Structure 1
Amino acid sequence: MREKIKYLLADFEKSTIKEKKEDLNLKQAPLKVVRNSCIRLHYELFHLHVAIPKVLGKELSFIASKKCLENIQQSNIFIKENFPNHVFTVNGKSVHNVKMPSDSYICRITAVCALPDGQVLVADYYNRRVKLLNQQYRVVSHLDVRVRPLDMCQITPTEAAVAMSNKEVQFITVSQSQLAKGRKLKLQHYCAGIAHNQGDLYICSGTALYKFTLSGELVCRLYEDSSADLTVWKCAVSPTGDRLYIISWDQRKLLTLARDGTLLATYTDPALSGPRGLHVTPAGQVLVCDYLSYTVLQVDREGESKLANLATLEDGVSYPWSVCYSSTTSSIIVGLWDDNILVFRVE
């Protein structure tokens, strides 16, 4: 990677100012390929780490998991140092309808979860359903849930956890393009947002951020703000687990916390008039979608400044409620408060 960068810089110094943009893009292409390969391998390595205990014996599993975890941490450091503030460039858009004939109400996509095989899970709030979309973003399966789903996060390549509006977390599994309910976690508080990182489960109660084990054991309360009803609405975690991000619905802010819950940064912006969706990519890019300004924006890893408005109302973003990045398809998926999702191809 270092040699490629040196080569590109040296070659750029020799070039003229009038060099065409197309030529420059061609010179950047090798670096983009390396970056994308690194992100993909990191993603696959993590899921291999998750799958190992199910395949090997106890002792071999422990040794292999330790070695795998070391490589994941090294990969995380490399990604953290090189790519977290790489600004996405949008180069295409498509619109996909996710309404089913049996839906009773207009869809409201409160969560999107991109799976490694290219399939996508969406949580439909009003119809109380989790829907599975194939690689062409068509609904191929669905699961009815008892109450309205508020958020969702991936646990393994075939399992996701859904934050429910009745103080529960419902685990669901994906097998052969079918969805099935798994175990439940019953909580003592509201469950508005949920995120997972390396075996830790982070849950937003509306006014506090809690850390749980995957078995449902409370580890600690990391952060709390009781000044309003929805100060801790959604959360996300950096790939290295060293930074936590929170969007405050009531205060219209993005908060960045250290691993122990210490407040590191507070970001406000006119584009954050109604923040609803939050996502961190495997490379550490921070994405926020705003319901009232009709904007999908990218914020720097430190949570201190905006890097770009990636999509706006002119691009079809109307009342966005959720956002997710797919490493498999190199696309940003935006869930709207209607029957559609938007898919932006990025590099």
Structure 2
Amino acid sequence: MKWPLSKKMETSLLTCVIHKSEQITMYCADHSQLCCSKCFELYHRLCLQVTQAARGKSTSFKNLSFRTENTLSQMKQCQTYQEDRMMSLKVSYKEHERLIVDGLRVNIISYLRECETSTVNTTHEHMQYPISEMREGIKNLLADFEKSTIKEKKEELNLIQAPLKVLINSCIRLHYELFHLHVAIPKVLGKELSFIASKKCLENIQQSDIFLKENFPNHVFTVNGKSVHNVKMPSDSEACWITAVCALPNGQVLVADTFNKKVKLLSQQYRVVSHLDVRDEPPDMCLITPTEVAVAVHDEVQFITVSQSQLAKSRKLKLQHYCTGIAHNQGDLYICSGTALYKFTLSGELVCRLYEDSSADLTVIKCAVSPTGDKLYITSYQQHKLLTLARDGTLLATFTDPALCGPSGLHVTPVGQVLVCGRQSYTVLQVGWEGQSKLTMLATREDGVWRPWSVCYCSTTSSIIVGLYRDDNILVFRVE
């Protein structure tokens, strides 16, 4: 970012997008387009508001920077989403292939048994021909299988993946072009080139927005099944209150049980296999690495590691305030105090206070971060709001809905889907990534959701796990 603007980038900024051999010299306000001399002759001769591009007034850098970072983040999320779709297709086809192979194996075993039965009373000298025939039969079975089935399935997979590869390449190209404009703009501030750079950036944002609307709608979860699992231990003296849920990449799940002052490790079948006692009630926790979580415990953060289905305590961070919620993204810790959101380093150094609302209690209770770190989400329990902030704490959106009363648990999936619980409305909602719209009601009281307090999406099992207040069970909803 500190390097001066390169001659190559300067040339790129001045080059007309349509006529690559021409330089931009004009701006048509009628069409909001930058023009070269050829563009003017072909498309803008009759336009009334064509001026010299060098005289144009560039867009506010702060506003443009926010818009650019937001679009870059969405492009990255779109790329991740399309890559996940490709991986999912590969996995499903591999599973289909395995089933086909298993079917072939059954056929071969059946064929061998049939041959064995027919030759059991045959003398050795009379078996040579049947064995040769048997080998030939098996060889034909394998050849037919390879030609007709596996090859056909691979071709089918390639056909389905082809448009996804095009989308991924488009994401990479648009992200690349916009990112370089984003880097260039602060370097041309105050120069004649700044107007051209800001207009090109806006044009790229518009192109990206059109692409995103067509190819990356908010993917809405569909619930297709539910199961209930008891997580109470014989040593628990109280009913469970599951205030936080973390899904590990291996399919295991960690839950924070506040009333019993425990962190429990659940197997892939949601049975308690290990636990740790903590010194106070743990209101929240978040994943740091695939094998480590940070647990909020009163006025400190307790790090816990998972190894071979066992939990172990490691270091602690001491805080100057109570901790009600915690989230992690790219080496930064975000901690809620009940009325404020703070940013810390992983070593415990306070970076800044990002947001504060002291108008009531529990205005900043839980937090979550988008995958690219450009958006922060916080739940305001007393005010029945979900707030969306920029990475610097600027308020971007406020979401309220009759279906979201007493918002508590909050989670953002790896591709940016936002899940939130309404403790007083007995609901689990999916909200748009922009934090302004309700996409769907995932579960209600009729589905067994009673005073939900925590929620988490497990991509390994494609399920949404909900923790409840004063209830020994967790709810697991299978989703697509």
Q: TM-score, normalised by structure 1?
A: 0.78
* Aligned 8 A contact 1:107 1:125 in 2: yes
Taking structure 1 as reference, are residues 275 and 250 closer, same or farther at Cα in structure 2, changes over 3 Å only? Answer: same
Give 1:155's aligned residue.
Answer: 288
Give 1:90's aligned residue.
Answer: 223
Asked if residue 172 in structure 1 is aligned to residue 304 in structure 2, the reply is yes
- Residues 207-251 of structure 1, C-alpha deviations (whole Å, 9 max, x = no match): 110000000001111111111121100000000111000000111
* Aligned 8 A contact 2:383 2:406 in 1: no
* Aligned 8 A contact 1:110 1:151 in 2: yes
Give 1:7's aligned residue.
Answer: none
CA distance in 2, matches of 1:37, 1:329: 17
Q: Which has the larger radius of gyration?
A: 2
Taking structure 1 as reference, are residues 40 and 129 closer, same or farther at Cα in structure 2, changes over 3 Å only? Answer: farther
Asked if residue 122 in structure 1 is aligned to residue 258 in structure 2, the reply is no
Give 1:48's aligned residue.
Answer: none
Give 2:314's aligned residue.
Answer: 182
Give 1:211's aligned residue.
Answer: 343
CA distance in 1, matches of 2:306, 2:448: 30
- Residues 56-106 of structure 1, C-alpha deviations (whole Å, 9 max, x = no match): xxxxxxxxxxxxxxxxx96xx79x955571000001110000000110000
CA distance in 1, matches of 2:257, 2:340: 24
Q: Percent identity?
A: 79
Amino acid at match of 1:85: N
Give 1:299's aligned residue.
Answer: 431
Asked if residue 132 in structure 1 is aligned to residue 265 in structure 2, the reply is yes
Q: TM-score, normalised by structure 2?
A: 0.57
Q: Which consecutive aligned stretches of 4+ in structure 1 deviate over 6 angstroms post-superposition?
A: none
- Using CA pairs under 8 Å that are at least 6 residues apart, name the structure with larger relative contact order, 1 or 2: 1
Asked if residue 327 in structure 1 is aligned to residue 459 in structure 2, the reply is yes
Q: Tell me, which stretches of 5 or more residues in structure 1 are unaligned?
A: 1-31, 42-72
Amino acid at match of 1:252: H
Give 1:248's aligned residue.
Answer: 380
CA distance in 1, matches of 2:332, 2:217: 21
Spell out the pairing of 1:272-287 with structure 2 (5 A cutoff): 272-287=404-419
CA distance in 2, matches of 1:321, 1:230: 14
* Aligned 8 A contact 1:39 1:327 in 2: no
Give 2:474's aligned residue.
Answer: 341
Taking structure 1 as reference, are residues 40 and 331 closer, same or farther at Cα in structure 2, changes over 3 Å only? Answer: farther
CA distance in 1, matches of 2:283, 2:232: 18
* Aligned 8 A contact 1:83 1:284 in 2: no
Q: Tell me, which stretches of 5 or more residues in structure 2 are unaligned?
A: 1-80, 91-170, 177-208
Q: CA deviation at 1:35?
A: 3.7
Amino acid at match of 2:245: V
CA distance in 1, matches of 2:85, 2:411: 18
Q: Identify the match of residue 145 of structure 1 among 274, 278, 282.
A: 278
* Aligned 8 A contact 1:149 1:162 in 2: yes
Greater strand content: 1
Taking structure 1 as reference, are residues 182 and 36 closer, same or farther at Cα in structure 2, changes over 3 Å only? Answer: farther
Taking structure 1 as reference, are residues 268 and 33 closer, same or farther at Cα in structure 2, changes over 3 Å only? Answer: closer
Taking structure 1 as reference, are residues 164 and 328 closer, same or farther at Cα in structure 2, changes over 3 Å only? Answer: same
Spell out the pairing of 1:302-317 with structure 2 (5 A cutoff): 302-317=434-449
Give 1:230's aligned residue.
Answer: 362
Taking structure 1 as reference, are residues 101 and 83 closer, same or farther at Cα in structure 2, changes over 3 Å only? Answer: farther
Give 2:401's aligned residue.
Answer: 269
Taking structure 1 as reference, are residues 146 and 206 closer, same or farther at Cα in structure 2, changes over 3 Å only? Answer: same
Greater helix content: 2
- Residues 293-331 of structure 1, C-alpha deviations (whole Å, 9 max, x = no match): 110000001100100000111111111110000111111
Taking structure 1 as reference, are residues 100 and 83 closer, same or farther at Cα in structure 2, changes over 3 Å only? Answer: farther
CA distance in 1, matches of 2:260, 2:216: 38
Q: CA deviation at 1:164?
A: 1.1
Number of matched residues? 282
* Aligned 8 A contact 1:112 1:152 in 2: yes
